[in-house]
Amino acid sequence: MIEDLLSRHIKKRPTTLKFEGRILYLLDDAELVRGQLYEGTDIQRPHDYRGLLRDQISTDEITPAYICFFYDETLGDFPYLGLRTTNQTTKKTEYPVKRNAVRNGGFICSVAGRRRGKGSSREASPYAELHAGIKVIVAESIERIYDENCQNLGLLTSTDFGVIDRIMAGEEISLTEFTRGKDEITRQIIEYGGLFEFNVARLQGNVTIPVAACAQEQAAPNRPMTVAEKIFASHLVTEDLPATRDLADRDRPQIRVARRGQWLIGNHG
């Protein structure tokens, strides 16, 4: 397996990206959502509808629990089946999204309001969106774990609504629009198109990860470690430190450094 990974061709995304496809607005209006999905209606003045964007869309709305029995590309049939919307005439709750509606609609970008992706840590949710054709997630705010799951699977995320205008205009967008403000590892994961690709590139020696502050030679421990910290420290992966290293504090364990690729690829030993 390692030999296959070492020979696999892995490259970074282009430095500029252009997206061709429709934009799906997850609105609290059942008829407007149906119009986008089944009648080919595109929202022409999206900023006028920003107040209707659904807030707090949970991962259970993106992929209800019963859908998670699927684990492959079939998940792309189902994103947003649990999306709750309001019939603005009757004020009743409706669920307008049906199987394959998103995939058949040719959508490239999905837009929502605040706290998108709240709830359980459900990798099936961004995986379903990805295989329905969604490449870009835009929301006023995005929950951390959902955001990281998107990045790990290769979905691009942003809280900048200006990205929508640029997609609609057919402009090329710099990849830095999606990496700005990210830590070093997250930036590289996004650049390589996902966590697996990043890990393979690292196994091949093409990327490095920064040394944790506690593992740097000049680091001066100032307290004993907690049990959780000891577990993390015992599996810390670095590039430049020797296999074991005594820390000044006798209450801290030695740091055992895995060979390149062991921890991140999964062969923990």
CA angle 94, 97, 99 (to 5 degrees): 140
The yes-or-no verdict on residue 245 having pLDDT over 50 is no
Q: Residue 12 domain-assigned?
A: no
Same domain, 46 and 122: yes
Q: What is the pLDDT of residue 212?
A: 66
Taking only the tens place, the pLDDT of each residue in 100-116 is 999 999 999 999 999 99
Considering the domain architecture, whether residues 156 and 70 belong to the same structural domain is answered as: yes
Q: Are residues 42 and 149 in the same domain?
A: yes
- Residue 21 CA to residue 59 CA, distance in Å, equals 24
Residue 1 resides in a domain: no
Give the pLDDT confidence score for residue 257 in this predicted structure. 38
pTM over 0.95: no
* Domain region containing 109: 19-171
Which CATH number fits the domain that encloses residue 124? 3.20.19
Give the model confidence (pLDDT) of 56-94 as tens digits: 999 999 999 999 999 999 999 999 999 999 999 999 999
Residue 184 in domain: no
- 23 and 151 belong to one structural domain: yes
**What pLDDT was estimated at residue 82?**
97
Let me know whether 161 and 223 are in one domain: no
Identify whether residues 23 and 88 lie together within a single domain: yes
Domain count of the fold of the chain: 2
Residues 155 and 258 in one domain: no
Same domain, yes or no, for 163 and 265? no
- Report if residue 10 sits inside a domain: no
Q: Are residues 166 and 61 in the same domain?
A: yes
* 264 and 146 assigned to the same domain: no
At 3 the three-state DSSP class reads helix
Residue 132 has pLDDT above 50, yes or no: yes
Q: Containing H/E element for 114?
A: none
* CA neighbor of 105 nearest in space, from 96, 114, 116: 96
Rounded to the nearest 5°, which phi and psi values hold at 2?
-60, -40
Asked if residue 29 has pLDDT above 80, the reply is yes
Same domain? 142 vs 25:
yes
Question: Sign of the C-alpha dihedral, residues 68, 69, 73, 75?
Answer: negative
In a domain, 231, yes or no: yes
pLDDT score for 196: 95
Domain stop point among 151, 171, 191: 171
